[in-house]
Structure 1
Amino acid sequence: MFVTDIRKEFYDKVVHERVLVLVAFDVDALCACKILQYLFQCDHVQYTIVPITGRQELENAFLEHSEQVKYVVMINCGGNINILETLQPAEHVIFFIADSHRPVDLVNVYNDDQVKLLMPTTDDFDIPAYDDLFKDDESDDDSGNESDSSAPSGKRRRLDEEVLERRRERRLWEEKRKQILLDYEEFSTYGTSSAMIMFDLAWKMSKDSNDLLWWGIVGLTDQYINNRVERGKYMTDVGDLHKHTLRLNHRNEDDDNTVSVDCMRIYFDEELKLALYRHWSLFESLKHSSYPACKFKMWTVKGQQKMHEFLADMGLPLVQVKQKFTSMDMGLKESFKGLFTASCEKYGLDDISFGSFIAQYGYKNKLCAADVVYAVNGLMECVEAEKSATGYFLEALDCLSRQNVKKLLRGLDLAKRQLTTIMQTVHSFIDMKQIISAGPFLYAYIPEGHPDVKFFSRPNCLGMLAYFMQEAYVATSRSRRSTLLPMVVAAPLNAETGSALVIGIPPKAEESTKNFFGRAFEQAAIQTNSRTLHDNFDTSIIEMKSEDRSKFFDALISLLS
């Protein structure tokens, strides 16, 4: 059931009880969790936060805590699975689900008692009618409707015809239902950011602040830079957040001298698609950001020469662009963005900017929302074996607080390593022609001996690699059809169990983020008896036995041809 008043139907109910909060491993979920955590601390609500990476961990976490709680809040998990069937909860347990994954499971939608969906009704859910999915009529049971042998033959004949007619109607209804479900579940996609939903709750409770607004902004930005929402949807949501930004950051220019050194100010600005350039050098950022790197074809000598021409056209000396951005000449730093956008059209970089937000902490730290997304993801998917997955989750959660700038800076360093590894892998695959056109889709496999294979055992990092590879392939391919091909990337996951992680992404040409690989992966696995695990909340990401990879992909090619 969809919640229409999030304060009355959700927060006011849980505020006096102990709450179990289950949080998925993504930046948007962390930001939503951070906002909810702040609200709970304000009202002294008792809560337990458990990070979960997949459906099995969801079941384990609920089983472990189910006896202690009446209310369960699920952030970016649980929306697209039948919660009651999966978890088998007691009748008194109520689930509140804020999940951006689509489509939403229809049993969750139509359950009025135990499942409450914290999702804006403005989203396009395209929910089928109840009568097309569920039959409450007991008269469909034919067991008591068999013709009475003692009845006259004419009446017996009429009863038989009635039973046959009801069976025929039932069969037609079931066929129609099956088709409706197939159409509804055909594509997976994403809806409104969960962090935005939690910020909206804080605003309605008059507890919003710049810190909470910033977490909402970072959650939305995570969706955009990871290709989870379309540009139109992103710009609509940015417009909503911009109104809050103006409201919470409104002050007279004359008041600047009275502002505290540790204050936070947020403002809207056009941001460049240059990853971490404020914390790196311009040269490294251009080289490791997918959009300019693929436009210039940075993996070729000619491409690097073209980039040098581009920098010379802007009037930026190599000595300046190869040092840290913070160490650049002040005049060049201030005029850099104007010079950059002025030269972009000439070099085909016509989509180099997007609307975003910047946070200024006092006089020192200046952060773009996209930089924070990279940093949080860098901490969350850290490949160093110092801590458990839960340890890295909690560190990533902590780095969102502006008091923990050191942790955020560590996240930025880890993000640079991630981006460098991704670029090197793309360069290697393009040079060796290891991105294969398998007919209906592009395909790449990271070999077991690859030096950086551990980076790609993480779903978000593998997803970033897949989009970078796809863009690089399209940039180098002479075939116009390349933009119409989706892409599948696989990487070794666990050498001991012989498993691999597989991700599928939609075609480059499609403006829509709708992804059909979830259904395709299921069918290919069934057809070939492949040992797969559909544990991720994003259905286009699966695990499988490496031994079954060959027959699985043969079946996938056959299915999509």
Structure 2
Amino acid sequence: MLISDIRLQFYDKILNKRVLLLVSHDVDALCACKILQSLFHCDHIQYTIVAVTGKQDLERAYLEHSDQLEFVVLINCGANLDLLDLLQPEENVTFFVCDSHRPVHVHNVFNTNQIKLLVNSGDEFNFPAFEDVIHNEHSDDDDSGNESDEPSGKRRRFDEETLERKMEKRRKRREWHENKEKIMYEYEEFSYHGTAASLVMYDLAWKLSQDTNDLLWWAITALTNQLIAKKIDREKYVSDVTELNRHVSRHNHRGNEEENPLSVNSMKVSFVPELQLTLYKHWSLFESMKHSSYTACTLKLWTLKGQKKLHEFLADMGLPLTQSKQKFTAMDKDFKDNVKDWVETSAKKFGLENISVPSFQVQFGFKHKFCAFDVAFSVDSLLESVSNSKSAEERFMEALDCLSRKYISKLEDGVELCKQQMMGVVNQVQTLLDMKKVVSAGPFLYAFIPDGTPDSKFFSRPNCLMLLGRFLLEAYVKLYNRRRSRNLPLVVTAPFDTADGTSLVVGIPPLPELEQASRNFFGKAFEQAASKTGSRTLHDHFEPSVVVLKTEDRSKFFDALISLLQ
């Protein structure tokens, strides 16, 4: 059931209760969790946080922690699952689900007792009608009467009429089921994302008059990550940024900054246009442009011609090569102060019209300044760290900590991890293109990353593999510039667990959709291909377009996928 008043129907219900928080492994979920933690601390609500990486984790975490708990909050997990069927809870347990994954499972929508969906009031869902997908099965008792008292002729007519009624009911029931299958297929065909869970939680904080700059910054970070991961389109992003900017103005109205200098422990958030250049303030401008998908793909930087274009671009800006290859903080002050304006001016001549996007930056005291893109990249890199010494729970807690301003060092560690990750992605893209390993299978493109490939460890993480897939698809389309390839999706596989002989498979939607809203049809396609061929797959990730496949079954799985999508 959709919640219309989040304060009355959610927060007031859990006051003075103990709550179980089940939180997914993504940036938006972490930010929403931090906001909710802050509210719980203010009102002394007891809670337990458990990080969950997939459906099996979700089920296990609930079974381990559900004793004597009446309220469970799920953040970015559960909306697209039949929760009651999966978790088998007691009747007194209520689930509050704040999840950006769409479509929402119809059983969650129409359950009015135990499932409460926390959503943004402006989101569109297009739910099917209740009577079209939920059928109340009643025992159809036949009107038998006392047949022994009836004449034989009437009894025969009675039997014929009863048989006709039964046949009519069966026909209608069959038609209803056929119609339901059609409606449900259309409803569940594409997976996509709605408003970030963090924005829903920030809205709650604002209604409770407990919103602060910290909570606002976490909501901004989550929204920025949605744009980076292409979970929302630019129009939706700009709309949400505009709404958040009102709160930024409200919390950061200080008047003359010279009269109100920042204290050491202060925090200031400001609205600024930001360049789509990965970590350029923590890297050199030259390296940042090489490792940003927008500039690398538009200028085709993996070719000699593209590298020449990059040097022309820097020359047009009037920026010496020695300055562009220095770390941004070490550049001469005149260059550093003007580089953003120069990039925006020269970008138009090189086809980079959309190089800047509306965004925000934060300053902690005098020293530390971060833009929202930097923080979103950093948190995601900590979550997907490939360090063997860290468990999933440790990575989760480290990423959660780095959102707090007292753990700036962890945030900076995330920045360094992100640099390594982006270098691995760009090297892999160049290798796949140079070796012509991106192959057309007819209805889609595919690429395999073989075991033993340098940096392959990064691609055993789903978010990093999806980042590689989006980068690779855009690079392939820009390189070959064929009309047909622009409309083709991409499937990428990478080694997942060498000991188990499994591969990670992700599906990336076609480029026109990638530039707009990411509506992904691979979730259903993967399920059907696995079912038809008996391929050993694990559909455990909350993102339907991510599956784990037994490497031995890859050939028959892809054959089935090709025949399905033709």
TM-score, normalised by the number of residues in structure 1: 0.98
1:262 Cα offset (Å): 2.1
How many angstroms apart in 1 are the aligned matches of 2:355 and 2:282?
A: 19
1:175 Cα offset (Å): 1.1
How many angstroms apart in 2 are the aligned matches of 1:148 and 1:378?
A: 76
Does 2:69 align with 1:64? no
SS at match of 1:107: helix
Q: Is the 2:429–2:471 contact (alpha carbons within 8 Å) kept by the matching residues of 1?
A: yes
Aligned to 1:522: 527
How many angstroms apart in 1 are the aligned matches of 2:504 and 2:47?
A: 33
Q: Which runs of 5+ in 2 are unaligned?
A: none
Does 2:483 align with 1:480? yes
Aligned to 1:26: 26
How many angstroms apart in 2 are the aligned matches of 1:254 and 1:118?
A: 39
1:133 Cα offset (Å): 1.4
Task: Please show how residues 32-111 of structure 1 align to structure 2 within 5 Å.
Answer: 32-111=32-111
How many angstroms apart in 2 are the aligned matches of 1:147 and 1:509?
A: 65
Q: Is the 2:23–2:74 contact (alpha carbons within 8 Å) kept by the matching residues of 1?
A: yes
Aligned to 2:546: 541
* 2:410 alignment partner, one of 407, 410, 432: 407
Q: 1:478 to 1:259 in 2, by over 3 A?
A: closer
Does 2:276 align with 1:273? yes
Aligned to 1:248: 251
How many angstroms apart in 2 are the aligned matches of 1:99 and 1:218?
A: 16
SS at match of 1:473: helix
SS at match of 1:200: helix
Q: 1:207 to 1:549 in 2, by over 3 A?
A: same
How many angstroms apart in 2 are the aligned matches of 1:484 and 1:459?
A: 23
Q: Is the 1:146–1:163 contact (alpha carbons within 8 Å) kept by the matching residues of 2?
A: no
Does 2:465 align with 1:462? yes
SS at match of 2:286: helix
- The CA deviation string for residues 39-79 of structure 1, in whole angstroms up to 9 with x for no partner, is 11111111110001000000000000111411110000000
1:463 Cα offset (Å): 0.6
Q: Which runs of 5+ in 1 are unaligned?
A: none
1:3 Cα offset (Å): 0.8
How many angstroms apart in 1 are the aligned matches of 2:144 and 2:357?
A: 68
How many angstroms apart in 2 are the aligned matches of 1:255 and 1:65?
A: 52
* 2:328 alignment partner, one of 325, 330, 335: 325
Amino acid at match of 1:65: H
Amino acid at match of 1:53: T
How many angstroms apart in 2 are the aligned matches of 1:14 and 1:182?
A: 36
Aligned to 1:295: 298
Aligned to 1:123: 123
Larger deviation, residues 115-124 vs 104-113: 115-124
1:187 Cα offset (Å): 0.4
1:160 Cα offset (Å): 2.1
SS at match of 2:260: helix
**What CA RMSD, in Å, does the superposition of the two structures yield over aligned residues?**
1.3
How many angstroms apart in 2 are the aligned matches of 1:417 and 1:148?
A: 83
- The CA deviation string for residues 300-337 of structure 1, in whole angstroms up to 9 with x for no partner, is 12211110011001000011010010111111111111
How many angstroms apart in 1 are the aligned matches of 2:275 and 2:486?
A: 24
1:233 Cα offset (Å): 1.1
How many angstroms apart in 1 are the aligned matches of 2:146 and 2:85?
A: 39
Task: Please show how residues 146-225 of structure 1 align to structure 2 within 5 Å.
Answer: 150=148, 152=154, 153-225=156-228
SS at match of 1:253: coil
1:255 Cα offset (Å): 6.3
Amino acid at match of 1:517: F
- The CA deviation string for residues 462-520 of structure 1, in whole angstroms up to 9 with x for no partner, is 01000010011011114211111111111110011111110001100222311000010
How many angstroms apart in 2 are the aligned matches of 1:367 and 1:512?
A: 27
The number of residue pairs the alignment matches comes to 559
Aligned to 2:135: 135
Q: 1:421 to 1:469 in 2, by over 3 A?
A: same
Q: Is the 1:149–1:156 contact (alpha carbons within 8 Å) kept by the matching residues of 2?
A: no
How many angstroms apart in 2 are the aligned matches of 1:534 and 1:415?
A: 27
1:102 Cα offset (Å): 0.3
1:170 Cα offset (Å): 1.4
Aligned to 1:491: 494
Determine what percentage of the aligned residue pairs are the same residue: 54
How many angstroms apart in 1 are the aligned matches of 2:458 and 2:379?
A: 15
* 1:418 alignment partner, one of 402, 421, 438: 421
1:257 Cα offset (Å): 3.3
- The CA deviation string for residues 399-451 of structure 1, in whole angstroms up to 9 with x for no partner, is 00011110000000000000010000001111111111111111011101112
* 2:350 alignment partner, one of 347, 358, 363: 347
TM-score, normalised by the number of residues in structure 2: 0.97
SS at match of 1:257: coil
Q: Is the 1:146–1:160 contact (alpha carbons within 8 Å) kept by the matching residues of 2?
A: no
Q: Is the 1:191–1:229 contact (alpha carbons within 8 Å) kept by the matching residues of 2?
A: yes
Aligned to 1:512: 517
Does 2:288 align with 1:285? yes
Task: Please show how residues 370-385 of structure 1 align to structure 2 within 5 Å.
Answer: 370-385=373-388
1:227 Cα offset (Å): 0.4
